[in-house]
Structure 1
Amino acid sequence: MNRCFAVVGNPGGRRVTLFAEAVRAAGLPAPRVVAWLDVLRAGGAEFGAGEIVRVDSPGEDPEVDLLLRDMPDPTRVEGTARWYRRFTAALGTLRGGIRLDGTDDVAVMFDKRRCHAVLAAAGVPVPESPTSGAAGAPVRGWDDVRALMRGHRMPRLFVKPAHGSSASGVLAVDSAGGGRIRATTSVELGPDGRLFNSLKVRRYQRERDIAAMVDALAPDGLHLERWVPKASQGGRAADLRVVVVDGRATHAVVRTSAGPLTNLHLGGRRGDLAGTRQAAESAGLRWPEVLGICERAAACFPDTLCVGVDLLPAVGWRRAFVGEVNAFGDLLPRLTGLPGSGAEGLDTYAAQVAAALRRAPLTGRPGPHHPHRTGTTHASA
């Protein structure tokens, strides 16, 4: 049976464009693009038995966002619970084809409480959380956050929308001396209490403002995590985004920031990967162990070809924790594969095309799937 690619995404968007370029660069016909807008309006989509189907993010399209959240202003933060219900339902309407993702995997990754519990159960190091899993504490508003901070001795923590992404709605909360509270976030609090996404990182120091934001976010579900003091590079907080393709860590980027939010679109900068490896190994944390943590996290989602893992190295570079696992964490243009990863010279999309073809060759039966390889070695970055 002849194979070809299809992608569910937003036509003309960066992600679909980069994936299509990778498919064509492999000498294959351009993938069939199935628009999220059409999927949502038609109630699903059908794929042929020989189509290798990549599901991409529905983000960055105002019409799609409106159908998923019923929020006329796409810059608003609220509505993520409705988005989650409709998005996961839409995943279930994609029928046929050879999927490169698992619907259940994606549903777990987009619920930070469930994702944290799955990782913890697998022995993956994660920050402490009182809201992890089905038995986690409910967060109905700021009063609950305050109580959990006291009860779990968490003077510093992250408050995250359970179904959010790209740091939208995330607050890094720090209880300073004298009972004072401050929060660092990209949320803009409007005078009428509405919340807006912003590319400007703000610091709020009035507790009533912080309480207003948390109370507005709580109906959509919140996840709390202990704030892990991060290692530094060049005097800036540092973490890593590691892309794992078919069980193997293939790409990594260091992100640094003067504050707790390192996301590149919020002003974070790319750091020195070689320097990161040297710092970790000097502290006794071997680089294969660093990448192995990310591979173990990815192994919790065996039906999904590619995930992006946010790795948080602690102060001193002796330990590292997984902050999040992202279903669509591969948008790292021009970043090529790690030496020894098998993806040298390939960007994240080309690496996925190659891995997908190993799983499902152009003709014949699907190839073997290795969701997790142990003992993988990685040469110097």
Structure 2
Amino acid sequence: MDRLILIGNPGNRRTEGLQEARRKLGMPPAVVVPYLDLLRGRTSLEQTAELAELRGGRSPVLRLDAPGELFEVERELIALGAPDAPAELADDRLLPYGAWNDPQPLPVKAALSIQEQRGRLYHPSQWFRGYGRLLAMVEKRAKELWPHGRWINAPDDIAAMFDKRYTHRVLTAANVPVPKRLAPPEQLPDYETLREMMSQRRLHRLFIKLAAGSGACGVIAYQTNPVTGAELAVTTIGVESYNTRPPAYYNAVKLRRYTGSQEIRSIINWLLAHGAHIEQWIAKAAYMGHSYDIRQLVVGGEACHRIARVSPTPITNLHLRSQRKTLDEVGLNSSEQDTVKDCAERALAAFGGSTVAGVDVLLDSRLKKPYIVDVNPFGDLLYRVEYSGCNPYEWEMRRLGETFSPFSPMGKERSEPAERKNEY
């Protein structure tokens, strides 16, 4: 079979899980290209081709894994997204909202001097710009080296899925059910405009999501009282205020409740400045008085591993101590489970260059109608969940080992929404 090149962070749960799956299935180990080495120029895809003996017409399969969990990578990506980054690396063509102005951008030198503070959200929009530039660089160089190479998830699809604003547009264009968007992002510059539009459209309960956030980072379940104007924000965002400099925002890794307008205004304005997707808050189906949604993995067009995430709060991510349940345990019948699978498969099919994604499916509390609330290109890190006797990585590698092949040839085009991709 073709060799697998894995661009990721060596030694983390994802890389080790995939390598263990390949070992168990009798496959050669993936050739790991560390994100940090790529960003610092210590390695390249050209060097990888030489080391893996992939010159002379042999074409690999390539996999991009999540860039998180390593602060040095985060810092390098913020620097790559800087306004004074080298011109040859400042390629924003894969960014869905590349014309968006990053607030108070950090120059390269300032970005590289950032010191780690655990949980701190330094500059999410500049980080995403840097990641988009890295994806563009990797896509271009891989295509030059291996014109017939195949991506498990194409770089342009990863950039598109990572941006919740654009994911909503792609799914809407494909007639996949999604919660109603409050407004295009350019029409919501600040908190005051948001409150005014909520009143005009009589939408008093919303989810506000950092455009390129993951793991509930930068998510607010926000509601207002239409009579009194009182407001409540439930979020993982923490705030540290200073007398002499702007407040610092961080991922508290637990939910916090804010009722004060000053704090809520500050958090929302910060999210809007970095890019946010705002959608209707749909009441989720319930189990034992707790709400839940479903993480459904899709591999090669087929829905496979899945888990219901049950929480007493409106935000259900598993790391926030939500309960893990099977779909049978939360009371979904076979028809309802098939509806979840079909909706998730349609969501991934909207991204024609990709084969694997964790799709988050919400069922409304009244009719259990499905809505897609996220498509995660790195959403296959699911513990203690099996399908056909395989964990997620084993199943993915088994399908690849069987030469299953909607794996995307480089350069395959995805149908775009009506608006141009790189505008807002």
> How does the TM-score come out when normalised to structure 1?
0.87
Query: Equivalents in 1 of 2:313, 2:168: separation in Å?
Result: 23
Instruction: For residue 353 of structure 1, report the CA deviation from its aligned partner.
Output: 0.7
Q: Secondary structure at the match of 1:179?
A: coil
Answering whether residue 354 of structure 2 is matched by residue 304 of structure 1, we say yes
User: Partner residue of 1:357?
Assistant: 401
Cα deviations by residue, 1:234-258 (Å, 9 ceiling, x for unpaired) = 1111100000000010111000111
User: Partner residue of 2:168?
Assistant: 116
Instruction: For residue 88 of structure 1, report the CA deviation from its aligned partner.
Output: 1.6
After superposition, the Cα gap between the structure-2 partners of 1:24 and 1:57, relative to the gap in structure 1 and judged at 3 Å, is: same
Query: Equivalents in 1 of 2:375, 2:187: separation in Å?
Result: 22
User: Partner residue of 1:375?
Assistant: none
Cα deviations by residue, 1:104-149 (Å, 9 ceiling, x for unpaired) = 11111011111101101111110000345xxx54332211221221
Structure 1: segments with no counterpart, 5+ residues: 338-343, 360-366, 372-381
User: Does the Cα contact within 8 Å between 1:162 and 1:223 map onto a contact in 2?
Assistant: yes
Cα deviations by residue, 1:188-224 (Å, 9 ceiling, x for unpaired) = 1112321111122111111111111111222211110
Q: 2:363 is matched with which residue: 313, 328, 335?
A: 313
Cα deviations by residue, 1:255-306 (Å, 9 ceiling, x for unpaired) = 0111011001112111232133x4356xxx5322221000000101121110
User: Does the Cα contact within 8 Å between 1:188 and 1:196 map onto a contact in 2?
Assistant: yes
Amino acid in the other structure paired with 1:297:
A
User: Does the Cα contact within 8 Å between 2:4 and 2:62 map onto a contact in 1?
Assistant: yes
Answering whether residue 208 of structure 2 is matched by residue 164 of structure 1, we say no
Query: Equivalents in 2 of 1:279, 1:304: separation in Å?
Result: 28
Structure 2: segments with no counterpart, 5+ residues: 79-110, 409-424
After superposition, the Cα gap between the structure-2 partners of 1:280 and 1:137, relative to the gap in structure 1 and judged at 3 Å, is: farther
User: Does the Cα contact within 8 Å between 1:233 and 1:271 map onto a contact in 2?
Assistant: no
Answering whether residue 390 of structure 2 is matched by residue 346 of structure 1, we say yes
Query: Equivalents in 1 of 2:407, 2:37: separation in Å?
Result: 33
Indicate the larger mover: 320-329 or 192-201: 192-201
User: Partner residue of 1:364?
Assistant: none
Counting strand residues as a fraction of each chain, which structure ranks higher? 1
Query: Equivalents in 2 of 1:318, 1:219: separation in Å?
Result: 34
Q: Secondary structure at the match of 2:187?
A: coil
Q: 1:127 is matched with which residue: 152, 158, 179?
A: 179
User: Does the Cα contact within 8 Å between 1:100 and 1:356 map onto a contact in 2?
Assistant: no
Q: Secondary structure at the match of 1:274?
A: coil
Q: Secondary structure at the match of 1:273?
A: coil
Q: 2:123 is matched with which residue: 76, 79, 103?
A: 79
Instruction: For residue 313 of structure 1, report the CA deviation from its aligned partner.
Output: 0.6
After superposition, the Cα gap between the structure-2 partners of 1:196 and 1:216, relative to the gap in structure 1 and judged at 3 Å, is: same
> How does the TM-score come out when normalised to structure 2?
0.78
The Cα RMSD (Å) is 1.9
Answering whether residue 298 of structure 2 is matched by residue 244 of structure 1, we say yes
Q: Secondary structure at the match of 2:178?
A: coil
After superposition, the Cα gap between the structure-2 partners of 1:309 and 1:188, relative to the gap in structure 1 and judged at 3 Å, is: same
